[in-house]
Structure 1
Amino acid sequence: MNKQELIDAILANKEAGIESKAAAGRALDAVLDAIAAGVKKDGNVQLIGFGTFAVKERAAREGRNPLTGEKIKIKASKTVGFKAGAALKSSVAPKAAAKKAAPKAAAKPAKKAAKKK
């Protein structure tokens, strides 16, 4: 799904109360801008059930130029990662989420210690 398809989906959702593509586009841009600003300011944005956007640190490392094979130093950097929340995971893979949520069998009671003679 691309941005235009997402705008169309927002417009199709009658509960959102958005009646034009322009308004849907502005709403989407506002949400994306708020997420970007939150990640920049606080280091993460958590949307319960959907997921968490967070800044991740990449350590400096050594790489290779694929053309020449020469070793190069890659500087430390930051990137943004996303970790899906439980509701999003269960909507994508309902069986895996149900399996994880199922209670585990009760553990057997510990055996009694043997008596010393």
Structure 2
Amino acid sequence: MPSRKRRAQEHMTNPPSKRAKAPAVKAARAPSKAIPQTRRRRETAPNPIQNAAPTTRLEVFVFGKGSAGELGLGTRNSIDVKRPRLNTNLDAKSVGVVDIATGGMHAVALTHDNKVLT
């Protein structure tokens, strides 16, 4: 390959038709792969509701040991409750609990207006 200086001289002295041409090199192309078509989503009706939100307001009864306040009776009544007792702090008319989940040390209540009480 000619040096840079020689190419510059050749460019200035020779007209474009008499310049040495570089051999044409064809780039080897990789064989084209067919691009898979994406799957079209089927137009379907929206899914019907499987689980309706609870709406029935519940009276909440509690029992067991309330030493850590897990019964929701407040600090004054945090005693051992042997029989089910109505929890007046979760009245059906004013608070409106519609669902409850309980565990060993915790209880969670969902109200009719989508508030979560623990």
Return the index of the structure with the highest Cα Rg: 2
Could you state the TM-score of these two structures normalised by the residue count of structure 2? 0.20
Name the structure where helix makes up a greater proportion of residues.
1
